[in-house]
Structure 1
């Protein structure tokens, strides 16, 4: 109730009923008007906050887009390049101008040149100053967007190459040939079998090896932790009856003098490489030469045809990379999720999508939860927790002091290393049927829970 209404009712309280009724109706109308004002005020408040939220996300998107483009240029040309500095000046200058025109228009209004432009625009187009300011913001935003899209077009046009000054460990590409008389026999050329002395020094050996796909007996996943518990490099080893395992590894194809950066991996900085190698090379260099923490996990509940299909997927990847090089990407095309993409083609819904596919350090936990890592590998003993798996599969304590020199005994040395890293790890047999594999996997997953 307003003060005017209050005093009006106070001084007319002894008047006749008509005046009293009029006062009551006036009071009701005032309450209705006050309610309408509250509703309008609430709507205005909500509209204002929506406006601020939209503006916040627009500003955030513009800033992130500028950072992305500048990082892309930086990683392609280097921070000391004239192109990098010129792009930085143009992008930052345009973005600053857009923000100034939108949020600090007085900076433009104080400029004599902008005053003259605004005056001419107002007189010729018969528009007010506010309309001119909106037009100015639109034009500046459009100019920034055009510049950014030109940068995106340049970025997408960058093609991976095969002919760079590669480091020795990724210098050769693996090739294969299938025996015409027996398709199970695959001969691989450029299988890496280096003698590593330190993390950077090794005696090079690129060998030819023939494997029999009918003798495939299982798959092991090796995780090598080099930057905390979340980040790991993933390798896959294929076991064969009466033969030593063969390992595959998707890696960046580093040039001489180049080092890995996870952030640079988002910006087409590294080509993708697929290495076929002996375990005494590709695992030893991580566990012994580099001092990374390495764990080997045998995959359970697989049929022989699934193991073979996964091996064939690697052969397909060899063909694709040899035909057309590809970029490594830290998020979408790295050493872990490429393996998952291939494995899911083989196993389908048995490998559901999970965030741990992108958090490579937790891949063993994912395999444990979906029943691909047996929670009860020794049926007559207590089930294994994930902590037990990590304890039993830790390679580093098993390979301390291992003599990795090849010489005339490289074959025996390779077998010895593969046997040594599997000490104390139950190796699961292949499943007899799909029904048995799925049932065992489901039972294992329930035990893991």
Structure 2
């Protein structure tokens, strides 16, 4: 009986090792595809050799190859995997690349008492996603005049995934939006898969609402929702300052963007957790399309409404498009009818 159990355990161990090798083979092939320099024909050759070696080890662990061949394949795979991981460790983020226009400048923040001076606030004039007039500005904000924070979700890939932004409002109608984004090089386009494989650096953008919100609702045609966050002035100020700290840290030390662990939604959670350490982890931090519902369940949105009511009233696209025709103030227009927003924010 012990002999049978021993053979069963060995078979299970072999299957487990084979499964790990299969996962590592797939990961390595994708890493090589997204990051290996040189001609594509060379990249395809290396990927084919790596994949063949990984599949050979999996087959050997399933008992389809002789013991001698299994040992040779296993030894070769260990050497290849170690080399791959050493190469992977050499990939480092950088600020020195030829960047796309909309992420060309890094935000710089300087705090002087109650006043914040921001350099490189983006205020592009977008006529379409590819037709725009670049404009970077220096702005000063008085923290004593900070009055509100709004959560903005822009859905670009179905109901499960959304881009997360936070817009801060000041007395007098001034607003600035923060957004963690991929920092594309001029020849690159966004890839969710590439975001797992160090294809992009990250950048924290501060922008005018007519730039960063309007381009999503009007130029790109994404579904955009706006919610008033239930935060007192002290909490809004603390979150605002955490964004500035994050921007300055990123300016000093570049970081890779990661689709899963370091993205537009996780940074909001990380910064908010500095203020409220007891915030719970939740699957909706990964499925960012449900992030507003997560905040609602934590009583962070306007009370007295069901979530579906807040979502319906917070859908800004129709109002955003109408503001282009009427030339009304964009920020006021998109807040018309949004629960929790006082009349003086939506009337000239």
Q: Output the TM-score relative to the length of structure 2.
A: 0.91
The structural deviation recorded for 1:72 is 0.6
- Distance change in 2, residues 1:100/1:306 (3 Å): closer
Q: Is the 8 A contact 2:153 2:163 kept in 1?
A: yes
State the alpha-carbon separation in 1 of the partners of residues 33 and 335 from structure 2.
Answer: 44
1:320 aligns with 2:253: no
The structural deviation recorded for 1:325 is 0.9
Q: Is the 8 A contact 1:225 1:232 kept in 2?
A: yes
State the alpha-carbon separation in 1 of the partners of residues 80 and 89 from structure 2.
Answer: 15
In structure 1, the residue matched to 2:171 is 241
- Distance change in 2, residues 1:101/1:348 (3 Å): closer
State the alpha-carbon separation in 2 of the partners of residues 207 and 404 from structure 1.
Answer: 26
The structural deviation recorded for 1:418 is 1.0
In structure 2, the residue matched to 1:140 is 73
Structure 1 residues 302-323: Cα deviation after superposition (integer angstroms, max 9, x where no partner): 2322211111111111111111
The structural deviation recorded for 1:81 is 2.3
In structure 2, the residue matched to 1:363 is 291
Number of residue equivalences: 341
Q: Of 186, 207, 223, which aligns to 2:153? A: 223
**Is the helix fraction higher in 1 or 2?**
1
Alignment of 1:1-400 (within 5 A): 40=1, 49-77=8-36, 81-99=40-58, 101-102=60-61, 103-105=63-65, 133=67, 137-179=70-112, 183-300=113-230, 302-349=231-278, 351-376=279-304, 384-400=305-321
In structure 2, the residue matched to 1:24 is none
In structure 2, the residue matched to 1:12 is none
* RMSD after superposition: 2.3
Structure 2 unaligned segments of length 5 or more: list them. Answer: 343-348
- Distance change in 2, residues 1:101/1:231 (3 Å): closer
Q: Which has the higher contact order (CA 8 A, sep 6+)?
A: 2
State the alpha-carbon separation in 2 of the partners of residues 68 and 56 from structure 1.
Answer: 18
In structure 1, the residue matched to 2:338 is 425
Structure 1 residues 248-273: Cα deviation after superposition (integer angstroms, max 9, x where no partner): 11000111231111111000000101
Structure 1 unaligned segments of length 5 or more: list them. Answer: 1-39, 107-132, 377-383, 406-412, 430-449
Q: Is the 8 A contact 1:244 1:418 kept in 2?
A: no
State the alpha-carbon separation in 2 of the partners of residues 253 and 391 from structure 1.
Answer: 32
Work out which of the two has the higher radius of gyration on C-alpha atoms and give 1 or 2.
1
The structural deviation recorded for 1:96 is 4.2
Q: Output the TM-score relative to the length of structure 1.
A: 0.71
3-state SS of 1:353 partner: coil
The structural deviation recorded for 1:62 is 0.5
State the alpha-carbon separation in 2 of the partners of residues 316 and 340 from structure 1.
Answer: 15
